[in-house]
Structure 1
Amino acid sequence: MKRFKIFVLFSVIIASFAFWACENEIVPELFPSSEFDFTYSSTSLHYVVGEEIHFLDLSVSGSSWEWNFGDGTTSSEQSPVHKYEEPGTYNVTLTVDGTHKVEKKLMISDIVPVVNYTASDEIIVYNQTQISFEVLLENPENKPVEYSWNFPVGTIGEGVDAEGNSSSESPSVVFGSIGSQIVSLTVTIGGKQLTPVNVNVRVNYNQPAKTLYYAVKEGNIMSKKIIDEIDPELNNPFNSGYRSGKHPLTLQYSGDWLYVFDAGTHFGYVNAPDYLTAGDGEIFVISHDGQRKETILENFGGDTFLDFYYGYIDENTQMIYWADRREGLFRTSTSTRNKKFSLSEFDYFVRNNWLGYYGQGISWGNVNGSFTKYNGQWWWAKNTTGSGIFRFTDGDILGRPKEDGDPVPAGGAIHQSFGIRSFVIDDANQRLYFADSRYKMVISSNLDGSGIKVVDNSPFDGEGGTSEPLFITGMAIDGEYVYWAYRGPQPPEGTDPEEYYQANPLHRSGIKRAKLGEDTPVVEYFIEGVEAYGIAIDKMAK
C-alpha cells in the first residue's frame, strides 16, 4: 500500500508540473498502452472508396472520443462509421479523454473491376470457341454502372460492333484472330471512370502449326505461329508473360521446353576487377504452354566473362552446352535445375587452347559466337581476335593445352575473314547462313565455305560499338525459310521516321526471312517493328 501511495503522489506532482508549464494546455500524447486502442472493419475483403468503414473503440475506459480520419473529417462518436471518397493511405487518430492518443494507418483502394472468362472448349480456338466474360465489381453505394469493352479485330458477338466495341455487362464472343488477344474494359460508376483493365486471352490456330519464338529487347519472350494461309493481321503474337532477360542471345526449342541463354547485362569487355562480380547471366526454360518457367543455371554476382553467351541442346545426349564470352564451352544435363554456376562444379568441355587450332586461327582472346553440332562434328564461331567457324569432333579435344606437334582438326576452319556472331545450317540444300558483324551482312555459302552470296546488307543498330558489335545474334530455319532477328538503326535526327522507312524499307527492326534454296532470295518481314536477340523455331507443329 505504501508503494502504491508513493506512485500516485509522484504522478500527481508530474501532472501538476506539466499543467503549469503549458499554461493549462493539455497536449495529447501517443499512448502505447493496450488500455486505449481501436480497430476497423468492412464488409469486403479490402477497403474501397465509398464503402462504410466501421471504427470500433476498444479502450477500457474513457468518457470522450475525438476521431480524425485523415481526410479532413472528424467525429466525436465512440464507434463511428465513415466513408472515404478518394483512394490513398490515411492516418486515423483516436484521442480518448483529450490525453490518450492512438494512431493507425488505413489504406483505401480505388474500385478495380475483376474480369473472369469461361470458354466452351478446353483449348481456345479462333473462329470456334465461345468465350463468356463476367465482371466482379464492388459498388458499395449502388451507383449506376456503365461498361465499355474493346475487343481485337475480327471478334464477333452479340452487341459487338465492327470496331470491336461493346457496352454489354457480360458479353459472349468468338475471336477471329489468333495469338494473345488483349481485351480492354473501362467501367464508369456514378459518372466516375475507373482505371481500364486489360485481359490477355490466348487463342490458338484451328490446326497444328510451327511456332517461332523470339526474345524481345527489354521485353518478354514472345511467339508467333508460322502460318502463311491466313491474313497476317489475324496472326498475332503470343506473349509468354516472362521477361527475356538482359541479352538473351540464344533461344533453342527442345522437347517441350524453350531454352533461353541470357548473357547478362555486360556482353563486352569489363575492366578488372569489376568483371569478377558483374555477372548476372542465366539459363532458364519455359514450358511449351507458357505455364512454367524454371531456372537451370545462374551466375548472379559471378565473373561476367563466364555468363551464358550462346547455347546448344544436344537432343541425342540430353546435354546443354553453352559458351562463355571468349574462353570455351561448358555442358550439363537437361535435367539440371536451380544451380549456381561455379568452375568447381561446371568445368570446361573445351577451351581455346585444347584444340589444334590454337595459334592457327584461335587465340586466347577470341570472342565466341554461336555453335552447333552437325553430323557428329562441332561448328564453333569466333568473331574477334581471329575469326571464322572452326570444326572439330569430340576426339579432336585434347583436354589439355596444345603442344607442338598436335594436329589441326581434319574438319578445318572456314570463313576466317568474317566475324561470325551467329549461323544456321540448311541441311536440305547444303547451305550455311551466317551473320557477319565485321561487314554487317547476312551471307550464305556452301558448307565448305565456297559459293558466297550476300542475302542482306542492311545497317545494324550499333549495340556493342565497333569492337564487339552484336549485330544479328538470332537465326533459325524451318525447312522453308531462314529467319533472323534484325535490330535496325534509328532514323537520322530530324528525319521523319515513316519517310525514312519508306525510302529504306529493310532498315526497320523486326524478324526477317528469306526462302531457302533460292539463288537470289527476296528478303521479307515475318514480324515488323520489334527488336529481338535470340530466336528459335518449334518445328513440331502444335
Structure 2
Amino acid sequence: MRNLIFIITMCCTVGMFQSCSDDDFPVPPASTVPEFTFVIDNDEFAPATVTFTNNSIVPTHVGAATYYWNFGDGESTSEENPTHLYTEPGAYSVNLVVTTSESLEINEVTKTIVIKDPNATGVPIYFIDGVQVYQGLINTQAPIFTPLNGVVAQSSYGMVIDNVNGKLYISDYGADKIYRSNLDGSNFEDFRVGVDGPNGMTIDYQENQIYWDTSSGIQRGDIDDSDVNQVEDFVTGQANDPDGLSIDLVNRTLYWINYNGGVWVKNLDGTGESELIPAIEGGSMLVVGNRIFYDEYVASGDIRLKSADLDGTNITTIAVNIGRVVYGIGYDANEDKIYWGDRNTDVMMRANLDGSSPEVWFTHTGDTRGIVIGELE
C-alpha cells in the first residue's frame, strides 16, 4: 500500500510537468516557425505588386520577433507584412528571416515568386508533377514555369497536346479519367471517365481520335464526341501493361511500350500487330521522324533513354543513369531537341536527338512527368 501511495504522490507532484501516462512525455518549448503567403496582382505579369502575409509562428516565451525580408531583386525590408513592386519579369527567391530577442533564434524560409513577361514568346512546354500541370516557354531565357490554375489531377503520369485544336489532355491514373482543357487551363473538364489506369496518350489528327493505354491494352475515342463513356478497344490481351504510346502519322502506325516488357507496333487500320523489340521494359514512347524514342529499365537506378529505327533496328543509347522509369518524352522541333524528366533528381533534361550536348534544363521540387511541347508562338 505504501508503494502505491508513493507512486500516486509522485505523479501528483510532477503532474504539472508530465502525466503518469507513457503517452505524455515532456514536450520541449515550441520553436519559432517562419512562414508566409503572397498574392500577385496584374495576373502575375510585370510590373506586378506582391502582397506578403506573414504567417510565422512566434511563441510568447521566445521574446520579440524581428522580420527581415529579401525580395530577391536587391531590395529588402523589415516590415512585418510588406508589399513589393516587381518591375521586371523573372523568378525571384524571396527569403524571410525571423530572429527572436529572448531565445536568440534565427530561422528562415525561402519561396520562389514568378513574375511573368507579358511580351514573352517561345515554344510552349508543359509538364505535370502528378497533381499540378505547369506551363512554360522554351526561349533564350532561363525556364520559368507557372501552374495552370484549376487543372488538378489525382495521380497523373501523362499528357498530350493537341496543337490543331489548342487543347491539352491529361490522363489520371488514380481517378481512371482523362481530362481536357484549353492550353491556358480554362474549360477544364472530364473527357473520358471509367477508363482503366491511363498513362500515355497520342493523337491521330487524320481521324480526329485520341489513343490511350489501359492495364491490358489500348483504347481510343473520338475527339469530337462529348460522351464521356465513348471508347473503342484497339489493342487487347496485353498482359505486360502498356504505358507510353505514339503515332507515326506518315506511315499510319501506332507504337507502344509495355511497363513489364516489349515494344509493339500496329497499323491504325487494325492490321499488323506485332512485337518489335522483345523484353524492353519502360514507360514512354515517342516517334520523331523516322525514329522511335523510348526508355528502358535495366536495373533500379539505371534507366536508359534509347532510340531505334521504325522497324526496331539500329538501336542507339541517348542517355544513361536515369533514376526512375521515365513518363513523358517531349520533342522541340524548333531546336530539334528531346526532353525527359528524371524523377529521382527532380530535373528536366534535354539533349540533341543523338544524345549529344545533354544538360539539366529545369529543376522542380517534384516529378517532371508527361512532358509535352507545342508550336512556336
The alignment's TM-score, normalised by the length of structure 2, stands at 0.69
Q: Sort the Cα spacing of 1:308 and 1:147 in 2 relative to 1 into closer, same or farther, 3 A.
A: same
Instruction: Give the letter for the 1:457 counterpart.
Output: V
Instruction: Give the letter for the 1:131 counterpart.
Output: A
Give 1:452's aligned residue. Answer: 315
1:381-409 Cα deviation digits (max 9, x unpaired): 2426762221313152xxxxxxxxxxxx2
Give 2:291's aligned residue. Answer: 431
Instruction: Give the letter for the 1:216 counterpart.
Output: D
Instruction: Give the letter for the 1:248 counterpart.
Output: S
Q: State the Cα distance separating 1:257 from its structure 2 match.
A: 2.2
Out of 241, 244, 250, the residue aligned to residue 370 of structure 1 is 244
Give 1:346's aligned residue. Answer: 231
Q: CA RMSD in A?
A: 3.9
Give 2:254's aligned residue. Answer: 379
Structure 2 residue 202 is matched with structure 1 residue 312: yes
Give 1:328's aligned residue. Answer: 218
Question: Alignment partner of 1:421: what SS?
Answer: coil
Give 1:513's aligned residue. Answer: 350
Instruction: Give the letter for the 1:222 counterpart.
Output: Y
What 5-or-longer segments of structure 2 have no aligned partner? Answer: 1-35, 54-65, 98-108
Partners of 1:330 and 1:207 in 2: how far apart? Answer: 36
Structure 2 residue 61 is matched with structure 1 residue 226: no
Partners of 2:40 and 2:352 in 1: how far apart? Answer: 41
Higher relative CO (CA 8 A, sep ≥ 6), structure 1 or 2?
2
1:292-340 Cα deviation digits (max 9, x unpaired): 42222233xxxx8x23232222334332222211133231324527x3x
**Native 8 Å contact 1:283 1:298 kept in 2:** yes
Question: Alignment partner of 2:357: what SS?
Answer: coil
Give 1:28's aligned residue. Answer: none
**Native 8 Å contact 1:320 1:334 kept in 2:** no
Q: State the Cα distance separating 1:135 from its structure 2 match.
A: 8.7
**Native 8 Å contact 1:366 1:383 kept in 2:** yes
Structure 2 residue 332 is matched with structure 1 residue 478: yes
User: 1:37-436 alignment to 2 at 5 Å?
Assistant: 119=42, 124=45, 129-132=46-49, 151=71, 153=72, 155=73, 162-163=74-75, 165=77, 167=79, 171-177=84-90, 202-204=115-117, 206-217=119-130, 219-227=131-139, 229-230=140-141, 232=142, 235-242=143-150, 245-254=153-162, 255-264=165-174, 280-299=175-194, 306-334=196-224, 336=226, 339=228, 341=229, 345-348=230-233, 350-352=234-236, 364-374=238-248, 375-383=250-258, 387-394=262-269, 396=271, 409=272, 413-427=275-289, 430-436=290-296
Q: Sort the Cα spacing of 1:164 and 1:366 in 2 relative to 1 into closer, same or farther, 3 A.
A: same
1:27-59 Cα deviation digits (max 9, x unpaired): xxxxxxxxxxxxxxxxxxxxxxxxxxxxxxxxx
Partners of 2:330 and 2:217 in 1: how far apart? Answer: 25
What 5-or-longer segments of structure 1 have no aligned partner? Answer: 1-112, 137-145, 156-161, 187-195, 265-279, 353-362, 397-408, 462-470, 489-507
Q: Sort the Cα spacing of 1:436 and 1:205 in 2 relative to 1 into closer, same or farther, 3 A.
A: farther
Q: Sort the Cα spacing of 1:135 and 1:474 in 2 relative to 1 into closer, same or farther, 3 A.
A: closer
- Identical counterparts, % of pairs: 16
1:384-443 Cα deviation digits (max 9, x unpaired): 6762221313152xxxxxxxxxxxx2x86422242242121221xx33211123563211
Give 1:41's aligned residue. Answer: none
Give 1:524's aligned residue. Answer: 359
Question: Alignment partner of 2:349: what SS?
Answer: strand
Q: State the Cα distance separating 1:200 from its structure 2 match.
A: 6.4
Q: State the Cα distance separating 1:283 from its structure 2 match.
A: 0.9
Q: Sort the Cα spacing of 1:432 and 1:169 in 2 relative to 1 into closer, same or farther, 3 A.
A: closer
The alignment's TM-score, normalised by the length of structure 1, stands at 0.50
1:439-490 Cα deviation digits (max 9, x unpaired): 63211122232221112221534xxxxxxxxx112111012211112222xx
Partners of 2:129 and 2:223 in 1: how far apart? Answer: 27
Q: State the Cα distance separating 1:252 from its structure 2 match.
A: 1.1
Q: Sort the Cα spacing of 1:289 and 1:243 in 2 relative to 1 into closer, same or farther, 3 A.
A: closer
